[in-house]
Amino acid sequence: MEKVIEFKNVSKTYPDGTQGLKHVNLSIEKGEFVVIVGLSGAGKSTLLRSINRLNEITEGEIVIKGNSITKAKGKQLLRMRRDIGMIFQNFNLVKRSSVLKNVLSGRVGYHSTLRTILGLWPKPDVALALSALDRVNIKEKAYSRADELSGGQQQRVSIARALAQEATIILADEPVASLDPVTTVQVLDDLQHVNQELGITTVVNLHSVDLAKKYATRIIGIRAGEVVFDGPVDEAVDKTFDQIYQRSGKEQGAEASGL
Ligand SMILES: Nc1ncnc2c1ncn2[C@@H]1O[C@H](COP(=O)(O)OP(=O)(O)OP(=O)(O)O)[C@@H](O)[C@H]1O
Ligand SMILES: [Mg+2]
């Protein structure tokens, strides 16, 4: 198996002294669908954002496909980041731009700044963007303004943007936190399809244990910045979640609502 993301003794101490991550060691392989679970404040976003250096770690090293992103600079860092698509809870779209332009923005890392400012997208890029929209079933919305779409459709646009970027890794931080239950399932199904069909290594932060169990091939539980569980879904029994969520026996069953 090919190692895609490696954490080597990674710690993150924020400037105010808060320890976001403590000595994290992880190895994620190609094609895995990893779900990170943990209480609010456990360090899920810190961990995810460390991978593409939206968040700088303070100790250890993160290695992407054999290259240290921690040590990468300049063009090499840009190239490594181009390989990593990011999906946010609030979609991060340019609301007043068309869906197609938003998806094309996934191509900025491949062209000169001037070209992208002028919007001179080469035909193959436009074709790639349209096929990415097709893959998430919203090709007919290509020329709509992004803010005319429903939340679920907007999240699909952000998945299409990651596909147009030709990312081989997708990081999603609470991608369904602002969506209703039906839309939630549609968006996670889309992420699962691109994971399975394109072999894109996927790491998702989720609050809901039920959703984690449904979609993950592997669950990583973190508590106070430390990995307290790491294993396949069928090994993550209720007792494991009690440990991750610091629950006592009495509170069992509370996970259905998602913590
Ligand atoms: N910029 C920051 N400065 C100081 N402390 C921070 C900063 N960002 C996060 N933290 C702290 O680091 C810890 C981990 O935060 P993080 O956002 O990673 O948690 P999380 O698991 O994503 O939580 P949530 O489920 O609420 O999104 C928390 O104690 C948080 O208060
Ligand atoms: Mg978070």
Question: Which among 150, 105, 109 is positioned nearest to 132, based on CA atoms?
Answer: 105
Is residue 175 situated within a structural domain?
A: yes
**Distance from the alpha carbon of residue 119 to the mean position of ligand 2, in angstroms:** 33
- Judge contact between 38 and 204, C-beta under 8 A: no
Which pLDDT does position 257 carry in this prediction?
42
3-class SS of residue 11: strand
Q: Is residue 60 situated within a structural domain?
A: yes
How far apart are the CA of 40 and the centre of ligand 2, in A? 7
Distance 141 CA to ligand 1 centre (A): 35
Residue 259's pLDDT is 43
Q: pLDDT tens digits for the chain (259 residues)?
A: 799 999 999 999 999 999 999 999 999 999 999 999 999 999 999 999 999 999 999 999 999 999 999 999 999 999 999 999 999 999 999 999 999 999 999 998 888 777 777 777 889 999 999 999 999 999 999 999 999 999 999 999 999 999 999 999 999 999 999 899 999 999 999 999 999 999 999 999 998 889 999 999 999 999 999 999 999 888 877 778 888 887 765 544 444 444 4
- Residue 171, strand partner residues: 86, 203
Which segments of 83-174 does DSSP mark as H helices, in order? 99-104, 113-118, 123-135, 151-164
Ligand 2 centre from 111 Cα, in Å?
32
Cα–ligand 2 centroid distance for 55 (angstroms): 12
Is position 255 within any domain? no
Cα–Cα distance between 240 and 258 in angstroms, integer? 15
Ligand nearest to the CA of 46: 1
What pLDDT shows up at residue 205?
97
Tokens linked to 97: 């731009």
In the chain, how many H helices and how many E strands? 9, 10
Rounded to whole angstroms, the Cα distance separating 104 from 73 reads 25
Provide the domain count of the chain.
1
Nearest CA to ligand 1 atom 17: 45
Q: Looking at residue 54, which CATH number applies to its domain?
A: 3.40.50.300
Task: Ligand 1, residue 42: give the atom nearest the CA.
Answer: 21
Amino acid at site 24 = V
pLDDT value at residue 248: 66
In a domain, 257, yes or no: no
Residue 256 lies in a domain: no
**Considering only CA atoms, which residue is closest to atom 14 of ligand 1?**
43
Residue 259 lies in a domain: no
* Strand arrangement, sheet containing 201-205: 84-88, 169-173, 201-205, 33-37, 218-223, 226-232
Take atom 24 of ligand 1 and give the residue whose Cα is closest.
Answer: 40
What residues have their beta carbon closer than 5 A to ion ligand 2? 44-45
Domain limits for position 74: 3-249
Which residue's C-alpha comes closest to atom 3 of ligand 1? Answer: 14
The answer to whether residue 225 is domain-embedded is yes
Decide if 18 is inside a domain.
Answer: yes
